[in-house]
Amino acid sequence: MDVKKYLDSTYLKTPEQAGLTVEENTEVVRLAVAEAIHEDFKLIMIRPEMVVLAREMVVAANSRLLVGTVIDFPEGRSNLKAKIIEAQAAIENGADDLDFVCNYTAFKNGEVELVKEEILEGTRLGLANFKTVKWIIEVAALTEKEIIQLSALIKNVVMLHFEENQYASVFVKSSTGFYKTKDGKPNGATLPTITMMIENASPLSIKAAGGVRTFEEAMEMISLGVKRIGTSGAKAIADKQSSINEY
């Protein structure tokens, strides 16, 4: 089992968040894409404004690396029209994967029909353009009951409106990695939350994101059944597997 085939190498900081100029931050993205190409990771996950750069680099390298981006990141509170416009632009710019932030705040407030509509329309747009669609539910913002309910809601919308052969192209994803928690609590994937997601979103696949930084953590997630891992530590995870395989 090659862990690299599970890794969505991720860099989603703005220049302000990174404490860099626009030019310096663009160079960080460029290096991240180059590393992902060299390491043969599954995907590079970057912000929408970097998709064109990443696609150009992938084409120039004749690489099979996928290019992914985030939609309505990181809070997911934009209206459906704004989400769709952003996703359409990402498609036109060459993105392979669209990681939408689900409007989990609306869900928590009981606006279930609003959430169902964005799941339906966002998924429809992605699948119509042969893209992989992932819905980020932001587990750290949810109770255990809400994690179960929102995972099941996404599954039910997809199963009601799309064909079985399309299910593999729709994921439920744990986290943005940018949610601010209190008292040092995890803001991303944990074994209990991922287990709940798998149990309630199946047959859709799960992407574990936020907090997976070591080879051991990655293997735990894979053993549970996740199909993708979003991580800023992809190189360290891959290097650890390589060092183990040398013995």
DSSP 223: H
Within a 13 Å sphere around the CA of 140, how many CA atoms are in the beta-carbon half?
Answer: 22
Coil, strand, or helix at residue 149?
helix
Beta carbons of 148 and 200 less than 8 angstroms apart: yes
Write the CA distances from 195 to 72, 132, 227, integer angstroms: 26, 22, 13
Q: Which of 90, 97, 34, 91 is nearest to 63 (CA)?
A: 34
**Active-site residue set:** 99, 173, 207
Distance, CA of 75 to CA of 113 (rounded, Å) = 18
